[in-house]
Amino acid sequence: MALWGTSFGGGHVLATAAANPRIGAAIIQNPFVDGRAAAAAAMRSAGRVATYRLAVRALRDALRARRGRDPIYVDLVGEPGTVAMMTTPDARAGFEAILPPDPIGWEPAVAARIALHLRSDRPATKADQVTCPLLVNVCDHDAITPPDPAIRVAEEAPRGELSRYPIGHFDLFAGEWLNRVCADQIAFLRSNLIAVAQ
């Protein structure tokens, strides 16, 4: 079995692969692997005022959760300086470019309390425990999930492989880069999963 994850899901795949030696291969692309690095980048992009406003909403939401009340939501993406989880200059346009034309019944928002936990989410610390082949796809101009921690994951994982692309976080979800990344991932799976199974 192979695991695949992108962005925040990439961090979950890394942690799962580290905890389960029965995984045959894993792929993480533009992965969220170091909450400290991602939080620092997010704070730079959002600015102090928006970061403070997000923290206040997160604390209010956490208190509401303890009382069993409905969540306080924040937008998943927004412009720099707004209260949202991703506010880099390319976040809103990049995110909207990959959505279907009319995503019926879905609001791109999350419970604000998640912001309280992101800084401590550091699956990169488990890289040396991943025993399966691990492909790490890194976007060199990623302002949302900083590339340096992901590069270190590929170096520290015993069977880590690194593929780098001169693009931003959302650029690998469409067009030429999507085709290129998919080709790299298919080649990785053929050599590390399918060939072993035969």
Do the Cβ atoms of 100 and 90 come closer than 8 Å? no
pTM of the model: 0.91
Average pLDDT for residues 149-177, to the nearest whole number? 96
For residue 132, the domain's CATH number is 3.40.50.1820
pLDDT digits (tens, 9 = 90+) for 29-69: 999 999 999 999 888 888 899 999 999 999 999 999 999 99
Query: Sorting pLDDT into bands at 50, 70 and 90, what band is 159?
Result: very high
pLDDT digits (tens, 9 = 90+) for 64-87: 999 999 999 999 999 999 999 999
Give yes or no: residues 71 and 102 share one domain.
yes
Contact assessment for residue 138 and residue 161, using Cβ atoms and an 8 Å cutoff: no
Q: Which domain holds residue 76?
A: 35-121
pLDDT in the model for residue 196: 62
- Asked if residue 146 and residue 74 are part of one domain, the reply reads no
Q: How many domains does the chain have?
A: 2
Boundary (domain end) residue, out of 121, 150, 165: 121
pLDDT score of 156 more than 70: yes
Query: Which residue among 76, 93, 121 closes a domain?
Result: 121
Whether the Cβ atoms of residue 54 and residue 83 lie closer than 8 Å to each other? yes
Give the model's pLDDT for residue 197. Answer: 61
pLDDT at 198: 57
Percent of the chain with pLDDT over 90: 83
